[in-house]
């Protein structure tokens, strides 16, 4: 990843379906360093074009770090955050949330 936070190409801003990926760790580009502290039902706020979108976390899980992940067919009103696992270099932390 060459930038600090990446909006993945599978995202669709018009449908409010957003997938963001970033580093976690101890470097100055580790913007997702504290994702591990989030819990189910926590709220995430996205500020875009002078509008605040509120998402509620409904799933937290780990997947193998392969560069691929399966996304359900509902590609609207969802925010997915992706970062590296802090404890296992072969895993990625996935946090899914729905627009409320």
Report pLDDT for 57: 98
Measured CA to CA, the distance from residue 86 to residue 100 in angstroms comes to 29
Rounded average pLDDT over 9-23: 88
Per-residue pLDDT, averaged over 21-44, amounts to 87
Q: Quote the pLDDT of residue 1.
A: 44
Q: What is the pTM of this model?
A: 0.87
* 2 pLDDT above the threshold of 60: no
Q: Are 60 and 38 in contact (CB under 8 A)?
A: yes
φ and ψ at residue 15, rounded to 5 degrees: -95, 5
CATH number of 5-99: 2.40.260.10
pLDDT of 44 > 50? The answer is: yes
Is it the case that residue 38 has pLDDT exceeding 90?
Answer: yes
Q: What is the pLDDT of residue 20?
A: 94
Q: What is the per-residue pLDDT for 73?
A: 59
Give the H or E element holding residue 48. strand 43-48
């Amino acid at each position: 990843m060459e930038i600090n936070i990446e909006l993945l190409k599978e995202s669709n801003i018009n449908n409010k379906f957003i997938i963001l990926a970033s580093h976690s760790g101890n470097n100055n580009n580790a913007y997702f360093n504290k994702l591990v502290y989030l819990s189910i039902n926590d709220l995430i706020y996205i500020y875009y074009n002078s509008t605040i979108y509120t998402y509620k976390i409904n799933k937290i899980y780990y997947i193998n770090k392969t560069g691929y992940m399966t996304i359900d067919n509902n590609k609207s009103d969802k925010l997915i955050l992706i970062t590296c696992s802090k404890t296992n270099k072969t895993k990625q932390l996935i946090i899914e949330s729905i627009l409320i």
